[in-house]
Structure 1
């Protein structure tokens, strides 16, 4: 599987509850926090829903 680095770049204050839960599932708490994940179909779906809040880089 491909590895990616996901970084939170925007606040989730005005985000919906589902978007906040998706950010928690990605392991992102604060702005500029990042997490390295394996790109699975489930992770890709979560990223698609919060793509305006995160930055994704291939490793």
Structure 2
């Protein structure tokens, strides 16, 4: 992982209580921004937390 502000796919799954397939779909649909380094996806922690807050309403 590149820094403390990045999350792995598994971490995002735990935070949002969603499956890896769902999180990858969110990334494809640009609901969550990802960076890819080879086969590894990373997610911005602040954006994931913002998405979680918005989806709880």
Same fold (TM over 0.5): no
TM-score (norm 1): 0.30
Structure number with the higher strand fraction is 1
Structure number with the higher helix fraction is 2
